Amino acid sequence: MEGKSMLKLSHVLAFFLLASLFQSLMARDLISDGIEVLQLPVENDGEFVFCPGKLSWPELVGKSAGYAKQVIQKENSLVHEVRLLFPGMPMPHNYVCGRVFLVVNFKLVVQVTPRMG
């Protein structure tokens, strides 16, 4: 019986020694290191959204992809990635603040309202 309790005690001591070697993980540390941290939604025109600023551009349907990309990046400085999708291509379902998909035809004309995500 004494051997089992010594083994348990040694496991507990090993756990505490290992735990003391690790620093606590704080969100402010991640942000200062340049790592993106999940943000809570903010209110934008009565609607809760994850990204501030303009989120959709219905006026760009029928415009060229190059022009649409310029307008989107000008109107929302958070947009860091504009991707083209052709008809039939699947759109990823994960939401990324700063990413906009342009669904275009083979002449690179926008077919669907571009949205953040």
24-43 CB burial, b ≥16 within 10 A, e <16: eeeeeeeeeeeeeeeeeeee
How confident is the model over 74-85, as pLDDT tens digits? 998 888 889 999
Q: What angle do CA 73, 60, 80 make, to 5 degrees?
A: 20
- Percent of the residues in the chain that have a pLDDT greater than 90, as a whole number: 32
Domains of the chain: residue spans and CATH:
2-116 (3.30.10.10)
**pLDDT band, residue 60 (cuts 50/70/90):** very high
Strand 81-85 with 47-49, pairing: unpaired
Overall pTM surpassing 0.75 (yes/no): no
- C-alpha 35/C-alpha 58 separation (Å) is 32
Q: What is the mean pLDDT of residues 82-102?
A: 86
48: left (phi over 0), alpha (psi -120 to 50) or beta: beta
